[in-house]
Structure 1
Amino acid sequence: MIIDAWAQHPTLRHLQDPIFDSLRRWTKMPTPQSGLPVSTTVALMDAGNVDLSLISAWEAPGKSMISNDEVAQFVHQAPDRLIGVGSVDISRPMAAVREIQRCVNELGFKAIRVLPWLWEVPPTDRRFYPVYTACAELGIPFCTQIGHTGPLMPSEVGRPIYLDQVALDFPELNIVAGHIGYPWTEEAIAVATKHENVYIDTSAYTTNRYPAALVDFMRHHGRSKVLFGTNYPMITADKALEGLDALALDEETKKLFLAGNAQRIFDLP
């Protein structure tokens, strides 16, 4: 079984947003002119043997790039393959709390994701704390990004060490930090090792780009701490998993990485 811990079924607004121009430049991908049907996302999951994808909303200052209701519609079209992850506007704390409650209690979402670089503040900013409280009370993970940013936005807010303070303040909260944390991967490993409920997902990286320190962590004391992710549509599952065998993971570790850790952390069937 394979579970993709970080994916998007993008809206055209998301695909065309100029914030991603830098990614399009180095990947040589043209700006899309039409949206993707859900069937295309499912077909690409099939091509990579992915059983379930956690697809995320994107809330940014002043705009909704992929709304929670749109994510719910996508999940409705493929309920046995897609799982919703919500997002909120952290500039309106009480509205954010109510929206998290709606995401979980009405839309059936399994997590909330907020990206610090979109807001240009670290995850220790006071505006995040109502979000953490709501997630902890509802028993769902908080998902975020660590490491440098591909888009032309400040990377400093993605330093994994900021999550050390968050985990100290919210020891009950499961925190899933995506994108490996490069170039601060060892910092991410240190935080995940220190805190029982801090995890790393490998989204936005193919297996041949995993830092050696992360692979060593997965093989040893971090086998329960790392989740597979793609950041689809940036990377498709088949591409992300090329060279998996070269990591030389034992069978138990491979099962935990590809599905078991996500099943446990996100409370999936």
Structure 2
Amino acid sequence: MLDPDALIAIDIHTHAEEPCGTHADDGYDDFQAGMAAYFKSPFPHPPTVPETAAYYRERKIGAVIFPVDAERETGFRRYNNEEMAELAAEHSDVLIPFASIDPAKGKVGAREARRLVEHFGVRGFKFHPTMQGFYPNDRSAYVLYEAIQECGVPALFHTGQTAVGAGMRGGNSMRLKYSNPIYLDDVAADFPDMQIVMAHPSFPWQVEALAVATHKPNVWIDLSGWSPKYFPPILVRYANSLLKDRVLFGSDWPAITPDRWLADFEKLDMKEEVKPLILKENARRLLKI
């Protein structure tokens, strides 16, 4: 089992790109090639869940890991949340499983969410509004949020511009508008007992993200998807002060490795007493570990 005291950090944002041993659709191969080119990925193929676990175990870092259910909008085959959770359970000393459910599934998705938490040990849920093609405050998603709130686990939302589809023809038909963090203000107000994580520096809406997080105490920010050397100064300032208890380390593995992220983080002008909060202690409170 996970021993948080033995870890140097907890990465709140890692992707299970090949969690179930299945070869992805041809369109997904093109998509992955675009991502690898954008981030200059060192990996010859998307790492499997066991490969991810081995990498994190060697570094004594815990990792929240999840797939993305965007089958309806993208056509990429959906990964099986149950199998993903079972794989993570085999490496429970370092992996913390989140699931992903397209909110368009409505009540079926809500039933799945409850089952995944109760029977498969899922500790939270990942949403990607740009890939899933929905506004987070769309009322049709609320039945799923209700289930997540009842289960007492967090919901993590992609925010801001995304490398997903970047440079591909038409941005791979993905629309950035869905990932404006201001839409999460409604969600945070309507579900005050659901912990909400806004993933990534929210370019070009960083100020909106900070406004939501400072106004709504159930909203957190993870710092994944960007090298810390590119963080806007206002984000660093808030992470060092008003939001120091609700900012989280995230890499966006495998697009960005924790080795690269942590090396750049060390060069930031962060208060020494804040660094352990961001790297591990805030995640422990969020995840109740």
**TM-score (norm. length: structure 1):** 0.91
Query: Tell me, which stretches of 5 or more residues in structure 2 are unaligned?
Result: 1-7, 166-170
Corresponding position of 2:150: 137
**C-alpha displacement at 1:60, in angstroms?**
1.1
Does 2:73 align with 1:52? no
Partners of 2:48 and 2:131 in 1: CA distance: 26
Secondary structure of residue in 2 paired with 1:7? strand
Segment drifting more, 237-246 vs 257-266:
237-246
Does 2:61 align with 1:61? no
**C-alpha displacement at 1:25, in angstroms?**
3.5
Partners of 1:142 and 1:6 in 2: CA distance: 12
Change (3 A) 1:38 1:115: closer
Partners of 1:146 and 1:84 in 2: CA distance: 20
Partners of 1:265 and 1:187 in 2: CA distance: 22
Partners of 1:51 and 1:149 in 2: CA distance: 25
Change (3 A) 1:95 1:259: same
RMSD: 2.2
Deviations 1:113-165 (A, max 9, x none): 12111222210112211121111111111111100122221111111111111
Secondary structure of residue in 1 paired with 2:244? coil
Runs (4+) of structure 1 exceeding 6 A deviation are none
Asked whether the 8 Å contact 2:222–2:249 carries over to 1, the reply is yes
Written as runs of structure 1 = structure 2, the 5 A alignment for 1:140-179 is 140-150=153-163, 151=165, 152=171, 153-179=174-200
Asked whether the 8 Å contact 2:102–2:132 carries over to 1, the reply is no
Partners of 2:231 and 2:101 in 1: CA distance: 30
Change (3 A) 1:219 1:99: same
Segment drifting more, 37-46 vs 87-96:
37-46
Secondary structure of residue in 2 paired with 1:79? coil
Does 2:54 align with 1:43? yes
Number of equivalent positions: 266
Asked whether the 8 Å contact 1:9–1:74 carries over to 2, the reply is no
Corresponding position of 1:18: 30
Segment drifting more, 247-256 vs 10-19:
10-19
**C-alpha displacement at 1:26, in angstroms?**
2.8
Change (3 A) 1:135 1:191: same
Partners of 1:64 and 1:72 in 2: CA distance: 17
Change (3 A) 1:29 1:262: closer
User: What residue identity is the alignment partner of 1:134?
Assistant: A
Query: Tell me, which stretches of 5 or more residues in structure 1 are unaligned?
Result: none
User: What residue identity is the alignment partner of 1:43?
Assistant: A
State the identity as a percent. 32
Corresponding position of 1:267: 288
Change (3 A) 1:219 1:31: closer
Partners of 2:287 and 2:141 in 1: CA distance: 20
**C-alpha displacement at 1:265, in angstroms?**
0.9
Does 2:159 align with 1:113? no
Asked whether the 8 Å contact 2:39–2:255 carries over to 1, the reply is no
Secondary structure of residue in 1 paired with 2:192? coil
Corresponding position of 2:3: none
Segment drifting more, 3-12 vs 228-237:
3-12
**C-alpha displacement at 1:191, in angstroms?**
0.5
Secondary structure of residue in 2 paired with 1:173? coil
Corresponding position of 2:205: 184
Corresponding position of 1:70: 83
User: What residue identity is the alignment partner of 2:62?
Assistant: L
Written as runs of structure 1 = structure 2, the 5 A alignment for 1:207-226 is 207-226=228-247
Secondary structure of residue in 2 paired with 1:59? coil
Partners of 2:148 and 2:279 in 1: CA distance: 24
Segment drifting more, 37-46 vs 66-75:
37-46
Change (3 A) 1:30 1:50: closer
Asked whether the 8 Å contact 1:10–1:66 carries over to 2, the reply is no
Change (3 A) 1:257 1:73: same
